[in-house]
Amino acid sequence: MTAADGKIIKPGGTIGVLGGGQLGRMLALAGRNMGYRFVTLDPTEDAPCGQVADEQIQADFDDVEAARKLAARSDVITYEFENVDAHVTNILMNESYVPQGSELLYTTQHRLREKRAIEAAGVPVAPYAEIGSAAELGEAVVRFGTPCVLKTATGGYDGKGQWVIRSLDEVEEAYETLSRAKTELVLEQFIHFDKELSVIAARSPRGEVKAFPAAENIHVHNILHQSIVPARIPAEVQQEAEQLAIRIAESLGVIGLIAVELFLTKDGQLYVNELAPRPHNSGHYTMEACRTSQFEQHVRAICNLPLGSTELLIPVVMVNLLGEHIEPLQSLIDQPGFLEAEDLGVSAKVHLYGKKEAKEKRKMGHINLLASNVQHALTWIERTSIWESK
């Protein structure tokens, strides 16, 4: 062991992935290029990651014996989603090598703990309040003003587990509805943001930290639609966003990736919205547009190899493909000018995740649009019919 801290897992070793979705799939594809083997645990038969891994253990995430099998087959274990059962995490940490540990999961699985950790790193978050009753909610709504956002402290993604309160008349119903989740509730002051941004940062056990260029994100129905890089923001804001992500990665002792989602206000203030301790949808642009993809970087970090360059090689727009977009995509993918739009100088790199059923609003894939400037990529999106039904 030559690195300052943590063991080194060299190519030829086996990486265990808790979760078999698309993030695990793209992680395995990147790691296999580096010479690693993969085993994944997921309850879904022929899961996206299982299709490209050496082995899939098909079992529920709280299956203790399955977790032990994963531990026995792996030199290092990572996860592709945050909501990992704490009991299973403890078993994996005792019987295998999990460099990401459990503390970061414990923090990011709970919105209140996460916000306090961000504040402890000296990074601003939107004003918030812990809510224990409808009366407390009413008082906080008056204090913050409307609109404001009530969220469950645990669970929820893509807009689930949230209620945008637009008047005091909604307080009772909002509290009654979200309190059924049987978890703490948190009210956040609504930030009137100019742009939504995100930065993916990586940290290794060596203490090496690097951040990818900030992405400008556009959501539709609370689901990420586009990530635009370089973000259309001043250079000093770009630099500040990257430094905030690095500060959080260092303060939380991150190993692997941390995705930092931010709001940028019109007066140039940045507020952190949420964290995700894993590869992130808004980092998919790195797959072709950066010297090192977020997935290769995650493998390097958890295996304690030197981190790769995060340099952006070409402007890019990542656009998500949901279930309702697959049929329009299939009708266009073989047409001249689709994958290579020479008039715009745009190359379209299609990534599909191998999911069997194309359900509406389900993430089925994405396209990275490489171009001489992001406006050409956005024009490409506008002139196709794929996203008309979004």
- Cβ neighbours, 10 Å, residue 358: 18
Q: Per-residue b/e over 365-389, b at no fewer than 16 CB within 10 Å? A: bbbbbbbeebebbbbbbeebebbee
Binding site members for ATP = 111, 151, 156-162, 188-191, 196, 219, 273-274
Q: Name the maximum alpha-carbon separation found in the chain.
A: 62
Q: Per-residue b/e over 160-195, b at no fewer than 16 CB within 10 Å? A: ebbbebeeeebbeebbeebbeeebbbbbbbbbebeb
Pairing of strands 55-58, 37-42: parallel
Binding site members = 111, 151, 156-162, 188-191, 196, 219, 273-274
- Cβ neighbours, 10 Å, residue 117: 21
Q: Residue 293 is encoded by which pair of tokens?
A: 């993809």
Q: What phi and psi values does residue 303 have, to the nearest 5 degrees?
A: -90, 0
Q: Is 317 helix (H, G, I), strand (E, B) or coil?
A: strand
The secondary element (H helix, E strand) that includes residue 203 is strand 193-203
Q: Residue 117 is encoded by which pair of tokens?
A: 């950790």
Pairing of strands 256-265, 270-276: antiparallel
From the list 69, 79, 9, the residue with the least C-alpha distance to 37 is 9
Q: Residue 277 is encoded by which pair of tokens?
A: 């301790």
The CA R_g of the chain, rounded to the nearest whole Å, is 21
Pairing of strands 14-18, 76-79: parallel
